[in-house]
Every structure is written in C-alpha cells, then in structure tokens.
Chain A
C-alpha cells in the first residue's frame, strides 16, 4: 500500500512538473503584415531581456485570432479588427480579447518601376480588380495588359482592401492570389504590367507606389486617415496583457519600439 502511494505521488509530481508552463516563453502568431514588426521587436526585446524567449509566427490574422481563442498563443497579431463571429467564439470560451494598437499602416498599391502611371482613383482601382479595366492604356499608360495580383482570402490585408477599395465586389477570376506581402512585391517587381497591394513596410526599389485619389500614402496622410486605404495594426491578448506579454507590448509601444515600427517601414503611433 505504501509503495502504491509513493508511486502515485511520484506520478503526480511528474505530471505537475510537466504542467508547469515555462513563464519565460512568449508566443505570438497571426498577420503577415504585422510579422516584420513583431519579429524585429522580438529580437530587440530578447536582446534587452535575454531570459525571455519570444516565438513569432505568421499565418494570417484569422489564424492568429483562432490560436488566441484556442489558448495556444499569448498574442494574436492582426491587421484588422476582430469580427463579430470571432468575438462570439472567444467570449463563449471565456476568452476576453483586448486589442493593443501597435502601428499605423496604409495598404500601398504598387506597380512595376517601368510603369509610368502615378496614381489611380478608387473607381479605377476597383475597375482594375473587377476586370472592367484590363489594359494600362485605358488609364493613359502603355499598351500593356494589366496583371492583377491580390492577396489570398485568409489575409487581413485582403479583407481591408476588399472593404475599402472593392466594397465587396468580386476580384477578377484571372487575378493571381498570393499568400504573402513578399510574394506580391516580388511578382509585381518582376512583371511589367502587374499591379498589387501590400503593407507599406514591404515596398522595395523594384516597385513604386501609386497615389489613391491624388493622395500618396505618407505618415501624415495615413495618421489622419486621408489616405483612403489606411488602417491600424493590432496585437490582441486574452484579457488585459500581463507578465511578459504586457512587457513586450509596452516595449513595442515605447519610443524604442516605435523606432522599430518606423525602421520596418510602417507608421508609428504618434
């Protein structure tokens, strides 16, 4: 009997030691737009606090939010606000999502550097993505067919672009749906007739940004929301952030963190 009790106690201790969560481990996943900010901030944060380990993954805003609801991550990165369905799923599982605003972003509409077009109206942009405008010469450009590049449906960037630019209209069937901002910028950079849209932080020297309604996405026009494709970037936690999550978010919102936001090509909070 005594031996049995000892065995049970030993097993319980093993289980308890297994269950002791590593308090110095922080996990975040979600939006590929927020990913470069989160990665760069995590590196700087871990350099400052070497005893804390942060794991950062992409997957898309929807994936990050689903992971927060299932309890598998501490922070969900999102390039859009949570939907009613997601909020309901969270609330009914006793998860209380709290949003932290970490950066401003504008969805930049980009074309290949060889394309002389400098700007579009929202109507023209919608016309391109719905297939009504198919050649750049219809917009005063070269006689080159337009190659439409879009983000995949799971992407928060797609959802914001769809809401603000397409107003729910269908993207043309022939559009190339790509899974990341990097893939979009790379394809547009290699394709003379291509048009795509990405988070500001992904712009490189192979593409140039178009103005929308004569407004170029700049820090001022994005902060005052006069650029029509402006948005906010979020980090969500379950309940008010505490412990290392609170420390990490506070770091991103600090002057040091906001410098990282700027260095990664996004617009700081203030």
Chain B
C-alpha cells in the first residue's frame, strides 16, 4: 500500500474514531487480514495451437484486509463501519507511455492497493414492540442464502456471491431479527440492488430497488432450514432521454433454499439457488440458472485433540439454459478440498488465526456449454495457502 493511501486510510479512521468516541458508550476496533499464496493452472494455446495446462498465476497477495469500528451509542443503537483493503481487484492502470493513470482500464492500481467501503450502517433495536427486531439502515449485509453468515471455512466465496447471484453487502434498509427462544431468524429488506463494489461512474443508472425476504428456522437442535427470495433488476428499462428501450435491462427473480445439519463433529451445508432472468426488451434471451452446493465440514478436534478441520465442497452451477448463441452458456462443476488449522483462540475459543490450505478445480461440461468451453479450454485449478488473522479490542 502506498504512503498516500495508507495516510488517507489512517486519517479517515482517526476522524471516525473521534466522532464515535465522543458520543459512544463503547467502541470496538476490529480487523481481519487474509494473506494468500495462489497458484493457478489453466489451459493455454501453445505454439502449435494446442491447448496445454500451464501455470497462469503464481503470486502472493493481501486478498482482503477488513478494518472495522463498531460502536454502541446506547444499548439499543449500534453502528458499524468497515473498510475493505486489498492488493487485487485494483481500479487504475498506468499506460506504458504515460505517467498519468487511465481510469477506464482496471487492471492495476496507482496506489498499490484498493480500498472499498464494505459496511456502514446503524442498527436500531426495540424501535418496534416486537422482541429481538432490528431496523438496520445503511451499507449492510445482504440477507440472501448463506452470503450473510458465510464464515469462510473454505477460502472460496459463498455460492450466491461466487456465481454473482447476490452481493455480499449493499445499500439498503432492512428489518431483521430473531424468533424468540432460538427458533430462527428473518429479514425483510429494500436494497439498491447493485452491491457495494460499484462506485461513481461505475454505478449504473438503474432506478429500481431490490426487494428481499429471508427466513430460517431451527426446529430441532443441529438442524436448520431456510430460504430467501430477492427481486432485482439490472440496468435501466428505458433511456432517460428519448425513452429508447435498453436491450441489456434484466429482471431477476432469485431464490435460495438451504439446509444445515450438525451432528457431533460433522456439519453439512446444502444450498440450492434458482435464478430466473428475463430480458423484457429482447426476445429469446431469457434464461434460468440453477446452482447446487454440498459442503461437509469435519472437525478433527475431538479425534486428534488438534484444532483441525477437513472441508469438502461440490458446486454445480448450471447456466446451460442460456440461448445457444450466448457465449456464457455453460455448466460448471467445482470441487474443493480444504484443510484448516485454527490457533490462538480468544476467551470464547474463537480462533484468532487460521491457516487454510485449499485445492479447487473447475470443470466445464463440454456438451452443455458454449463452444469456447469445449475440450476443457476454460477448466482451471487453484492451489491456495492462506493465513487469516483477526483481532477485536474495545477502545
């Protein structure tokens, strides 16, 4: 990270700390850093025009660095502010013949790192005469599927995040709460629908909001089922001047069903995603996509007395319903095997550090995918080793 970006971050944080400290009864500073080594192998054309496996990426990165402030103004009013720092996904590029950045190219960064707002919201509890109900206002979690409580047992993202069904956080207003006696949780929300990553000119001119319902119940110990529905749109239906129809405008109905089973040291997650996309301004382009994820997590702690977990995951993401001419038409199978070693537990036994070793392979079904996927041309595999560490202190 450059000195300029670092000093800017420190200045913003100091300012927010001062403001929060003036009126807060308690302020907590927390952080989480993911330092990662990634080795990726993909198929590439050689001199003979043949596709061969080659190492396409081999790098070290600070993949994510969350720095957050949580403050309690009153026991019923709490706020959270989190920035997301990263050394990838950068926003600006220097052209080879100029010292000035070109902001239309998004391959590297002038600062050496990126910075995004991840959360910035206020929780109001006991505003309504319903127990355990919060009104949350601001840039907050998207209560869809597993995306909002995904704890990254594997390095890979939650399915709805990975397949770009929903954003992990977005600007919105939600009513979220818990059913008394631990029976479950729910959320109702209105969001921007464009996520937290779009800023400035990258924000589209979409004028519709996204609407969300989420519900989970835990009827018996160790067994949770739930579902989410979100209605969203992408783009603007008609241009602002002239009322011309926008061919890229999408109407999306997004569904997610999940199950979680815990028995002793074994935990199994199941998630099913259904995405229905309509293009009202274009005929023959509508499609549906489905996703299925199975993720078993086995804790070896009770067996070998070491804080080790073995995790597997199988994803099937099917977009083969797209029209034949659509180059995104595909059926992807992903398999992941992971090993976690947790250490430095805090006083609640939550590990402050985790070493994660993951192997992930992505394979496209040739028959159900567009020609550009044939013969495994877009198949890839990744080996990742990550040290994840976090802290939380009351100021």
Residues of A within 8 A of B (CB): 15, 18-19, 29, 57, 59, 63, 66-67, 70-72, 83-96, 150, 152-154, 158-159, 162, 166, 168-171, 173, 175, 177
Contacts and interface: CB of A to CB of B under 8 A. Distances in A.
B7 interface: no
Nearest to A60: B347
A91 B347 contact: no
A49 B75 CA distance: 43
Contact of B74 (A19, A89, A93, A168): A168
27 contacts: A15-B303, A15-B304, A18-B305, A29-B347, A59-B348, A63-B347, A70-B349, A71-B349, A84-B131, A84-B132, A84-B178, A85-B132, A88-B179, A88-B185, A91-B218, A91-B220, A91-B221, A91-B222, A94-B222, A96-B221, A168-B74, A168-B75, A170-B25, A170-B73, A171-B25, A173-B23, A177-B26
Nearest to B21: A173
Contact of A93 (B23, B126, B262): B262
A94 B264 CA distance: 8
Contacts of B59: none
B73 A92 contact: no
Contacts of B260: 92
B304 A57 contact: no
Nearest to A18: B305
Contacts of B348: 59, 63, 66-67, 70, 72
B348 to A, nearest CB: 4
B263 A90 contact: no
A177 B25 contact: yes
Given A63-B348, A66-B348, A88 B183 contact: yes
Contact of A72 (B22, B25, B306, B345): B345
What are the nearest 7 A-B pairs in CB distance?
A: A87-B182, A72-B349, A94-B222, A170-B74, A66-B348, A84-B178, A70-B349
Chain B, interface SS category: mixed
Contact of A84 (B77, B182, B345, B349): B182
Interface of B: 22-23, 25-26, 72-77, 126, 131-132, 178-185, 218, 220-222, 224, 260, 262-264, 302-306, 345, 347-350, 394
Contact of B180 (A19, A84, A170): A84
A83 B25 contact: no
A169 B347 contact: no
B313 to A, nearest CB: 19
Interface centre among A63, A84, A169 (most CB of B within 10 A): A84
B75 A159 contact: yes
Contacts of A88: 178-179, 182-185, 218
Contacts of A159: 75
B174 to A, nearest CB: 16
Nearest to A59: B347
B349 A92 contact: no
Contacts of B218: 88, 91-92
Contacts of B304: 15, 18-19
A172 to B, nearest CB: 9
A15 B305 contact: yes
A83 B132 contact: yes
Contacts of B349: 66-67, 70-72
A72 B182 CA distance: 21
Nearest to B182: A87
A194 B184 CA distance: 43
Contacts of B305: 15, 18-19
Given A63-B348, A88-B185, A94-B222, 4 more contacts: A84-B179, A84-B180, A84-B181, A162-B75
Contacts of A83: 132, 178
Contacts of B347: 29, 57, 59, 63, 67
Contacts of B303: 15, 19
A35 to B, nearest CB: 13
Contacts of B26: 152-154, 177
